[in-house]
Amino acid sequence: MRNALGLMLASVVAAVVIAAGGWFYYSASADPGAPKTVAARAADPLPAQTKIAAKDDVATTAAIAAKPTAVAQASAPTPAPVAPVQPKQACANPNALGVARVVEIDTTGGPGFGFEHFKQFDFLTDKEVVLTFDDGPWPVNTPAVLKALADECTKGLFFSVGKHATYHPEILRQVLAQGHTVGTHTWSHVNLNSKKMTEQQVKDEVEKGFSAVRFALGTNPAPFFRFPQLQHNPAMVTYFGTRNVAMFSTDIDSFDFRKGATPEKIVETVMGRLDKLGKGIILMHDFQKHTGEAMPALLARLKAGGYKVVQMKAKTTFQTLPEYDEALLKDLKVPTSSARPIGSVVQTVSQ
């Protein structure tokens, strides 16, 4: 009897041991990636809005949730989502003319634009215009043009005279800061086809103009150039091909520089010609007082007529020649150390 009870007790103990061993083996060999029942530590709260360093006037606008979701708590930590990049400042005008499209120009070989002189690149479609402005920057007049463009959230192309750029660099920087394209228009707005000009003097006028605009901006301008008075010097046309500079003529001249020009006449001149052609590069002058006064009405007429603005940008920037940079600084009596861009001298490290 005692032998029978002993055998039964031994059998029970053996069964328990076998079951425990099997459970231990199963647990050890189970998928290590299976969800655990222990709750993960909550992540540190994220700020309500994440900001990135500004580049080309962009900033993040999407908010990130302050608390992780249940799925995030159960999984391994992952990088915070990248917020979509949006314009730094949204257009405050819901009915603005705006910019229909932006085109990037490869200036290799010195292409020409504007059918008055160059007929190779017909890139505008019906009802498209490019707004261009010559001879600035200039007090009052250039800011008036900038305000009109900003009110309609649209963009233009500015051809700056180098000497004017050195007079008013703060205005030219404002042009660039507002997202417009900046090209050049010689150093002193001289007629490059004048018989009094030698080939070297013509080259000096062009290269010094580029160096002056670069100095004023604190960065390289676009490799875009317009000849003063639209006088295209044949030798310089060839030269620009070697310097990879795009040349600009026009399709529609506003004649805003003429004696007796008024804001009303400027608008009627542009719109009359534009309605006949249907599209084109418009030539204006931010140096002229009446141009700034005409801009609000002109932009309103463009919008009412169903016209759309195209902004032209360059694929690369223009590289000035060191000898002209140095000559400019010498002429302006500027200490060499001040030629450094402001961003390389002064940087915000805490805000």
> Is residue 117 in some structural domain?
yes
For residues 257 and 307, give the distance between their C-alpha atoms in angstroms, rounded to a whole number.
Answer: 24
Whole-number pLDDT of residue 348: 80
* Position 92 in a domain: no
Asked if 118 and 255 count as a contact pair (C-beta separation under 8 A), the reply is no
14 inside domain: no
SS3 131: strand
Tell whether 184 is covered by a domain. yes
- Which CATH number characterizes residue 212's domain? 3.20.20.370
Can you give the pLDDT at residue 86? Answer: 37
Residue 59 lies inside a defined structural domain of this protein? no
Q: Are 311 and 103 in contact (CB under 8 A)?
A: yes
Q: Has residue 74 been placed in a domain?
A: no
| 136 in any annotated domain | yes
Largest separation between any pair of C-alpha atoms in the chain: 136
- Residue-number span of the structural domain to which 159 is assigned: 110-332
Alpha-carbon distance of 202 to 193, in angstroms, equals: 8
String of DSSP letters for 232-277: --HHHHHHHHHHT-EEE--SEE--TTSTT--HHHHHHHHHHHHHHH
pLDDT tens digits in sequence order for the chain, 351 residues long: 444 444 444 454 444 444 444 433 333 333 333 333 333 333 333 233 322 233 232 222 222 223 333 333 333 333 333 333 334 468 899 999 999 999 999 999 999 999 999 989 999 999 999 999 999 999 999 999 999 999 999 999 999 999 999 999 999 999 999 999 999 999 999 999 999 999 999 999 999 999 999 999 999 999 999 999 999 999 999 999 999 999 999 999 999 999 999 999 999 999 999 999 999 999 999 999 999 999 999 999 999 999 999 999 999 999 999 999 999 999 898 765 555 666 777 878 877
Structural domains in the chain (count): 1
Q: Are strands 252-253 and 246-248 parallel, antiparallel or unpaired?
A: unpaired
Copy the structure tokens of residue 122: 């017909």
The answer to whether residue 81 sits within a structural domain is no
